[in-house]
Structure 1
């Protein structure tokens, strides 16, 4: 599988990326890959350590003559986001990612590619396997569950890392170096609803919003992309205002950290109002298409007949739709200090309303991010309030700190010098509106200097994810040059 990747250069990094594509590794299912890497590293004579959380640490001794250099930590995460198009048949726990090369980019076929963070892990593995790169002591740290809860980093065992320099290989723009990131927290909500004693009509339909780009809920939140959950709530509210529809289900989004690409809802309506409802929906669809004609050219809104089933009672339905409608989504505040940088945002990631036995079960999740930890807490409370007002159970959990930028750090200065020498132009120093593991690791290892960089990845967390081949070669050259030039210990 994916043999065409072996023809790409640098061959060693693509060899390992092929392994990652061939080995299923969605979040919570990293164990098979991790076991393989332990066996592989030990066969090459390297030391391995598995911490209680399930993070893997591989140590490689310094090259001859480089023993006095500072220890460098190469860090990435083993898991990948599992997203696919509705029509794609793929089991992320069993099936390899099927890649293809199109116009200089590596794509997957109807699924996420896993370049986030597969290419960073592949680079670290290539360094570990290489025999011709002069380097000091290396510690390769591979964390788990980064894409779902950052549990690996949150529960990383303290005291196992010796290095004071960490190169995080989990960024997505060639020519950029990241020195800070947002913190964040999940807001999970759930509630049970009773079934209405009577249906309001005899016609039932399934309303679907699809064809959206989706994307990373941090990196892409400022781009004006549509969220399928938000659009579907808007449509249901407007239809309910005029026709008093009765919800039977709502299913939208699959991940808290991915902007929802698709959402569907089924509802009952009086059969005498069907023609008028279709006409109204046509007008609403035209308005939304015009609203998103630049950012969402493939937006599709469809209405298809379905079977009549149990419906939500009107009061509960009104409360639920109102809570969803007023729950924050999108950019909340731009940074006052960093031009063009999102400070605080919220993604309404997952909504599920399903009938089970004799009642409805509603659940969902939003993800708040901010460069300022207190702002994360404040916006999370706003989300909580929206659902607490309807009596839902709400939990603010899995919070993680941001990574405070230090523009005067010695590692950053060294990185910029090496980047200019290797690439021929100056790197852009940036802060990312996403949850890199650096902030969490830094809170456990005070004084550790860190930078994050990587090749060009586009469409992360969505089936449009792609990896630019030429940028991988530049990424590799930069990484090698950094390792060759690591300062002497205590210099």
Structure 2
């Protein structure tokens, strides 16, 4: 258990540094202890380092003697980790070291996340800086904070904090793959003034919930053909409106800006004489929807519960009809595929949340694209839909930039050659429809040549997280060989 989990593992330095990181608490936004650990590493090895006002650290590693004129290479990883544990696990992520163990060809943790994302990347950077067998030019070890909850560390980087023009981001999780692009993100939210009237009807009130959908990550799962609970709710309400009279008293759905909504619900009032027809409409809607999502998202259920308490206020009919039109018109899903990388979503938008905030109805959406102009175009499309739907206000956040693939990158060319030499096979070249720190790094340091790779990590962000031992050997050898090639 714990230290003996890495006994006999190679490369020894990588595993020792990784173990050291597992013993230091490092929750996002609370990286004080791991930052001290990194400063101690630099001091003990007589490396100069700089720490900025938010806590990012860059360590200057001198070149192997004789290779001082080689180009400076930046090796980048983030210090924080996602802190998740099983319900029965007793663990304080702010004070307790992780309990790691070996399970066959994997390293994992006892009931908690392992923090291989991105501890193994930082550990590899420490290892190449101190491994006497590694030949390299000048290095800059860039350790950023708070990647997992907003990328606030990399977003705060200032010009000149790093000087290298070539960067290895060691924060990917698939052996044999180089990542060369990622999407940027943007939020667009519409706010609508609530329009109520007194309920002077004799209608019966029901709670109607759409549930059973898969949901998922709004970037990684958008191409998997999953249903959107808010969009389906709008379609259902539109169908009901065509056949029976109804009123609405509340509406909500979704929970996170970066998740495809799995559930949505309304408080709906109907004539008791229409109850049979109402149930038939809902049943038919489920059957029709399954024709569309039977393979990718077949779990839709509609739960209807009668409310015993009388509803005093209901939305005006005009407000409801307008709302349904807005939700039907708001785009959701894939907007464009990448022309450079087959199968990669280039641009998408997510109809993410709906609910009452500060006495207004707020509809939240998020846009992703590797091309900033495409991201803004979709955001403007949502803004237009909201404004045509009489929104009182539309907010667009600052967002974060994408990283557009550069298939002519010198670093990519060298990395592919090195990989083939080491493994006698071609690497996979990929981009990800989600945010990486490289997007912001490219915006902060225009012209920087970047690539992202790492060993196989499964179950990241969950207590099932595990790091493959054999893939870590290949990963470290790849880092060493790329650094060597840049000295020639």
Give the structure-2-normalised TM-score.
Answer: 0.79
Larger radius of gyration: 2
Match of 1:429 in 2: 429
- Classify the secondary structure of the residue corresponding to 1:363: strand
| Residues 344 and 244 of structure 1: CA distance in aligned 2, closer, same or farther (over 3 Å) | same
Mapping of residues 234-313 of structure 1, within 5 Å: 234-239=235-240, 241=242, 242=244, 244-254=246-256, 256-260=257-261, 262-270=262-270, 272=272, 273-298=274-299, 301-304=302-305, 308=309, 311-313=314-316
> Contact between 1:331 and 1:346, CA under 8 Å: does it hold in 2?
yes
Cα deviation code 1:232-255 (max 9, x no counterpart): 44344444554524142413131x
1:394-409 matches, within 5 Å, as 394-409=394-409
Question: Cα distance, 1:382 vs. partner?
Answer: 0.4
C-alpha displacement of 1:332:
0.8
Q: Are 2:481 and 1:487 aligned?
A: no
Counterpart for residue 70 of structure 1: 71
2:477 alignment partner, SS class: helix
1:158 CA displacement:
0.6
Find the aligned partners of 1:160 and 1:199 in 2 and give their Cα distance: 66
Aligned pairs for 1:36-51 within 5 A:
36-42=36-42, 44-45=44-45, 46-51=47-52
Q: Matched residues in 2 for 1:173 and 1:47: separation?
A: 32
**Pairing 1:368–2:367 present:** yes
Deviation at residue 177 of structure 1 after TM alignment: 1.7
Count how many residue pairs are aligned between Structure 1 and Structure 2. 478
Distance in 2 of aligned mates of 1:64 and 1:176: 32
Equivalent residue for 2:138? 137
Alignment of 1:471-486 (within 5 A): 471-483=471-483, 485-486=484-485
Pairwise CA distance, 1:132? 5.7
SS at match of 2:209: strand
Instruction: Report what 2:172 is aligned to.
Output: 171
* Residue 18 of structure 2: aligned partner: 16
Cα distance in structure 2, aligned partners of 1:75 and 1:92: 27
Residues 233, 126 of structure 1: alpha-carbon distance in 2 compared, 3 angstrom cutoff: farther
- Quote the Cα distance in structure 2 between the aligned partners of 1:420 and 1:195: 66
* C-alpha distance in structure 2 between counterparts of 1:379 and 1:367, whole Å: 9
Contact 1:460-1:466 at 8 Å conserved across structures: yes
Give the secondary-structure state (helix, strand or coil) at the position aligned to 1:52.
coil
Q: Mind listing any 5+ residue stretches in structure 1 that lack a counterpart?
A: none
Structure 1 residue matching 2:402: 3-state secondary structure: coil
SS in 2 for 1:386: helix
Equivalent in the alignment of 1:209: 211
Alpha-carbon offset, residue 316 of structure 1? 2.4
Aligned position for 1:189: 190
Shift of 1:381: 0.6
Task: Give distance in 2, aligned partners of 1:3 and 1:281.
Answer: 57
Going from structure 1 to structure 2, the CA distance change for 1:270 and 1:407 (only over 3 Å counts) comes to closer
Structure 2: where are the runs of 5+ without partners?
none
3-state secondary structure, aligned to 2:408: coil
Q: Which residue is 2:162 aligned to?
A: 161
| Contact residue 267 and residue 311 of structure 1 kept, 8 A | no
Distance in 2, Cα, partners of 1:103 & 1:299: 39
Name 2:344's counterpart in structure 1. 341
Please report how far the alpha carbon of residue 430 of structure 1 lies from its aligned counterpart in structure 2 after TM superposition.
Answer: 3.5
Instruction: Give the superposition deviation at 1:144.
Output: 4.0
Contact 1:209–1:263 (CA under 8 A) maintained in structure 2? yes
Give the whole-Å Cα distance in 2 for the aligned partners of 1:306 and 1:101: 53
Matches of 1:14 and 1:229 in 2, distance apart? 48
Q: Residue 120 of structure 1 aligns with which residue? A: 121
Displacement of 1:179 in angstroms is 2.8
Contact 1:69 1:487 (8 Å CA) reproduced: yes
Q: CA RMSD in A?
A: 4.3
1:126–1:244: structure 2 CA closer, same or farther, 3 Å change rule?
farther
